[in-house]
Amino acid sequence: MILKDNFYVIKIKKNFLSFLFLGFTFCLLIFSSNNLSAVKSGLSLWANSVVPSLFPFFVATELLMHTNIVYQLGHILNRYMKPIFNIRGEGAFAFIMGIISGYPVGAKIACNFRQNNICTKEECERLLSFTNNSGPLFIIGTVGILIFKNTTIGVLLFMTHLLACITVGILFRFWKCNKTSYFLIKNTNGKHPSAKSVSFSNLGEVLAESITSATSTILLIGGFIVLFSSILSILKASGILNILASFTSPIFNLFHIDTAFSLPTVSGMLEITNGISTISNIACKKLSINIILTAFLLGFGGISVLLQVLSITSKTDLSIKPYLFGKLLHGIFASFYTYIFINIFPFFNFDL
């Protein structure tokens, strides 16, 4: 009997994903009416917000990877990157572009560095932990101006987001610090061996390759957004999201936070845009709570972004662990810094 029970347990474990995907397909049929509007909303979000803001950055980073700008930055900033983040100066390119452009540009550049042997495996994993960030266009423009209707809130969130990012980078300088991978040394022209150096003669070819690569990535992101819009719709309609939120209620009670925030926070940990939008609409005399929770979600990024990054890192030998731990710490530090700023600087305090 015990052997038979063990056999069934093994069988369930082996076929868990099959049952999960079958259940998802079944839910798509049951909640088709809610799901249709959710998918349309996800497509609209992707087409109207994500593509215009991210696609040009994807093309630009691909083009820059065909120049020697990465190594020029490395030569200039090595004196700062190495002692602070334990990463060679070339990592500054991923750091800067990750701050400017937003998810998941930083992760894509870190993986490109690994594929092109610009940095070691350990250095690229350190880059993953802190260079994949939400950009100023989203934090100040979308979250601050459009969602909270206040530019100052957007600026506050971006400042604390950046501070938390740097803090995580400093902590992760010790990630696998005793291990060293060896890689191909760049050639004397300052280009990595696999890169096709751009010139006027091959500009069209390089541009076409960059657009093709950027299109592939932006379509991948669109797929994840639509998929998670559908998953969130199913979880809400089935009541599962409420059950998940009930498990977080004790944590909110511990910090004397209204449990009305638990549902949108759980939703935001799956997909940040919907969660932040819901959090901003919760009426609360202490608006600082809304802002602090938003800072956490912006830092964490959500499971949707995590899977986007996983789809990119799966093409390399990089571990996803430093990214996951880094984003959890990023969310915690961002909310902590936001709390400090609100309590120290009166013009950042919006409580009634």
What pLDDT, on the 0 to 100 scale, is given for residue 180? Answer: 57
Q: Which domain holds residue 54?
A: 38-176+200-348
What pLDDT, on the 0 to 100 scale, is given for residue 298? Answer: 94
Domain count, the chain: 1
What is d(CA 63, CA 238) in angstroms, rounded to the nearest whole number? 45
Asked if residue 27 belongs to a domain, the reply is no
pLDDT tens-digit profile of 75-90?
A: 888 888 889 999 988 8
- 158: tokens are 């971006």
Asked if residue 114 belongs to a domain, the reply is yes
Q: Residue 203: CB partners within 8 Å, gap ≥ 6?
A: none
Asked if residue 26 belongs to a domain, the reply is no
Asked if residue 258 belongs to a domain, the reply is yes
What pLDDT, on the 0 to 100 scale, is given for residue 179? Answer: 63
Asked if residue 290 belongs to a domain, the reply is yes
What pLDDT, on the 0 to 100 scale, is given for residue 191? Answer: 47
Asked if residue 30 belongs to a domain, the reply is no
pLDDT tens-digit profile of 155-193?
A: 999 999 999 999 999 999 888 777 655 444 444 344 444
Question: One-letter amino acid identity for 4?
Answer: K
- The model carries a pTM of 0.82
DSSP state string for 180-224: ----PPP-TTS--TT-----TTTHHHHHHHHHHHHHHHHHHHHHH
What is d(CA 42, CA 205) in angstroms, rounded to the nearest whole number? 33
**Helix locations, 31-90, DSSP H:** 32-45, 51-64, 69-85
Asked if residue 239 belongs to a domain, the reply is yes
Asked if residue 323 belongs to a domain, the reply is yes
Low-confidence residues of the chain, pLDDT below 50? 182-194
